[in-house]
Structure 1
């Protein structure tokens, strides 16, 4: 399974904010740190805020920070929130759909994929905050 660039950016933002939980970051700072378009990152940040991962502070001296501790945000939760909930293959028009067991096998694989991601928090994947913050 390949994750979208959108999910990649969402995870990067959360890891970056986890590296310094007491600091407010501007979107421009995070975008510059990762070489990401500010416009694209703005959409990701708005979505993460709407879903309760980030808190935004408006105005002069404002910025973004995690809405809850990085230890309380699982990577699986983020991936589920940012990826479309589409099946790995489209079985709707397949003539084998009635007798094929591939759909079940792929559903099991997807569940296992998310079970592994659920075991990791954003804090764990950003374990070296000194390196993440230095980017």
Structure 2
């Protein structure tokens, strides 16, 4: 999701297709369709169909908070689980182990840091990003 949005932020007034994104990033087009749908549903991208259709940012890159984006796109930020979801078997040291609390503190600190950045912060060096991605070896242009 982040890479798709970075690409769109490089040319906010230009529509880009999932096919172009898949080719530029060398990622499965099928997977990117799902990601694009989720981003559109959450209000990060606007999509249009047709010959001149494609995806573009639904709002200014400066208004897309990275922490909020991660929370909206990641299923879980939990780094360790102490109980198997399918079997219900619990870890033998659950309750006396501090690892889950320590890791949660680390995740909280990471998210607090991400909350202080926007998508615009990721594309502040747009020139080199553009050369690497849009004008790069996998470019469709």
Q: TM-score range by the shorter chain?
A: 0.7 to 0.9
How far apart are residue 22 of structure 1 and its match? 0.9
| Contiguous gaps of at least 5 residues in structure 2 | 84-89, 134-141
Instruction: Please tell me whether the aligned partners of residues 77 and 107 of structure 2 are also in contact (alpha carbons under 8 angstroms).
Output: no
1:110 paired residue number: 107
Which is greater in Rg? 2
- Secondary structure of 1:133's aligned partner: helix
1:70 aligns with 2:61: yes
1:95 aligns with 2:86: no
Q: Residue 121 of structure 1: which of 85, 98, 118 is its match?
A: 118
* CA root-mean-square deviation: 1.6
1:4 paired residue number: none
Q: Comparing both structures, which one devotes a greater share of its residues to helix?
A: 1
Greater shift in the superposed pair: 25-34 or 98-107? 98-107
- Secondary structure of 1:55's aligned partner: strand
How far apart are residue 86 of structure 1 and its match? 5.2
Asked which structure has the greater RCO (Cα within 8 Å, sep 6+), the reply is 1
CA–CA distance in 1 between the matches of 2:95 and 2:107? 21
How many correspondences in the alignment?
Answer: 126
